[in-house]
Structure 1
Amino acid sequence: MRNGPRLVTMVQRLSEIALVGFLCLLLLADVALAFGLRQAQFAVPPCGLLGIGAYLLRHRYRVQGAVLLMALSAAVSLTGLVFHAEGAPGAAEAGALLLITVGVVRWVRPLRTAVILAVLSAVTSQLASLRPMSNASLAFGFMMFVAWAVAVGAGGYLRYQLERRQATVSAVRRAERLELARELHDLVAHHITGIVVQAQAARTVAALRPQAVEPALEAIAGAGAEALASMRRLVGVLRAQDDASRHTGATLADLRLLVERFSASGPPVAFDVGQGLAEPSLAPEVLTTLHRVLQEALTNVRRHAPHASWVMADLRHAERGVLLRVRNQRTSADPRLSKMGGGYGLVGMAERVKALGGDLLAGPAGDGTWEVRAWFPLDPPDRPGRPGREITAS
């Protein structure tokens, strides 16, 4: 398997083709039945054809297609009842209505709209069961109600799973924003402390040596500019009011220490820092986030690929920024292959990276490895949420 998401997309498309093919077979059966019963039965195949069209266009016209199909189906049913025209319900029409009901319950917002459409779908299916003027109508009506209940239950379950995941992702992103706000606050406090110390020193020596004040003023200006940039990045990010531990940022030495500790208890890690990459060229909040991303990536290796024989990490300049890559050997038993995007640790890391104007990518690479990439601009944006450059896996 070269690419997990691509395989999932292929399976989804094949499933959709199979369902459409099945509906087409049901439509052919409706056409054959219409030529057998004649008269009013010829009104049934158009409903089935409309149902197939509504199913194919459900992503763009989900509500409109459902309403149009139910309106036409109800009109045909009521016309048959008024004129006492004998006929049988359409198989393609019923199948398309059930499939569309699943999608309506799963995707349509707000929830009250989905509930209204689901109830109308039940009414439409029961009206269709009244078309045949025989004892079979009762059995068909019962079968349609059971099928409708299964469709609503399946759509409701999928909707619940989707909303639960969205709520979890939102909670993780909020937690990362608050953690980032706390760290940025500490960085600003660190700079402000330096400004206060430099100002006090300048006031002390101003009376004795005025020429010594100029370097202190330059230091104050530099610290103030850095503090202002961090404060701009802090705007719009809520700050957590808790007793979490605080620090003024990480260093390249902290990244090396993290790798050494991981290698002592897990797969060996080769960590390389590119030439010309030094701490003064990286903002403190970028270094802190690099440390967090590296920690999360190594934690995932220990959790999902504990038997990997090697892990490679490197930090280097790339695309007018800095790029952190963490790669490890991938095995067929790696649960990350079947849970693409299922974890929330990297969701939080992506939120943190994006807040600094960067991008984060995690997934299987073309050479059979698992790769995590985090790119940061050398000049971080002044405000959170500014889009960064997009990176792709090799």
Structure 2
Amino acid sequence: MLGALPSLAAASTLVWAVARSRAAVRQRLGRLARPATACAALSLITSFAVPTAGAYAGWKLAESAVLLLLLAAITRWSPRSELKSALPLTALAVTLWPLPLVTGESFLEAIGIATFWLIPVVAAVVAGAYPRRQELRRRRAVAEARSAQRLHLSRDLHDFVAHDISGIIVQAQAARFVAAADPSHAVLALERIEKAGLSALAAMDRTIQMLHGPETPTTEPLPDVSQLRSLVENFTSAGATEAHLDISPRATEALSREAGAAAYRIVVEALTNIRRHAPDAPHATITLTPTATTVEIRVTNDRGARPAAIRHRASRGGLGLPALTEHAQALGGTLSAGPHGNGGWQLTAVLPVTLPKETP
């Protein structure tokens, strides 16, 4: 009866874990480490304390089979902190159980027997560790996909909505100052505010459609370099900075659709930074220069007055340029920004072109 006690305890532990609903089974399997440790300790005690006999050997063989099932279960479901004690002790109980039955054998033969029983232990650990690793990889993939989606959504909001809202703020400030003296200018500012608000709503609609999933059709494509001219005109009319665009038709044709959308985002970010950090800069220049394999985008602005509030806000930095730098690098290009001239600022990006296919 004493020899059968570990077998009955291990079998009862296994039945306790699985004799429930599916949700409860998974929860109990995660709590198997301590009962399995107790069963393994009881097995080791009885292995060296109970006199050997034929019936006893049969019970120990059944006990080892149940312990192997427990070993696979705890490897699969138990927390890592509990595996540190449960796994070695259970493996030791399965590996050493035959040794009391072969007391007459040599030391090397005893080592060989223990090594032989180590094989099913390794198989049980592998059987539990493989699905555990697969589930961990799946969870990491889901977390990375969600993180990438959040980053994509934040880029859309930052690149487009922030630009339109900053334009709305500038127009509202201008309308407040000219409303009393010249109502006609205030009406023009309100029209530009309406246009910028509609553009911000369109960007929000694209973001919401992305949240609904890839099966939701997109109402309009992302803007590209073909819309840079209207972007620069709206920027000039909305503030004190006069922006000039110099773009070659070959640059428009050379960029792929994805690279063209990235180029538009880069110019939007540069103009938004000018509006936020140097709103009274007299001039800004946007040039797109094509080469044999790349298109260089350069946005330069003169020095502005930079009031104290704007200097404080600019010193905090933001996520726009780092995100665009990563995007440009993902496309095979580069992006850099820094001081230029006498207190001005310059952003330079280089994007690869779509090379024409060779005809045979």
Q: TM-score range by the shorter chain?
A: 0.3 to 0.5
Task: Give the number of the structure whose alpha-carbon radius of gyration is greater.
Answer: 2
TM-score relative to the length of structure 1: 0.41
Bigger RCO (CA 8 Å, 6+ sep): 1
TM-score relative to the length of structure 2: 0.45
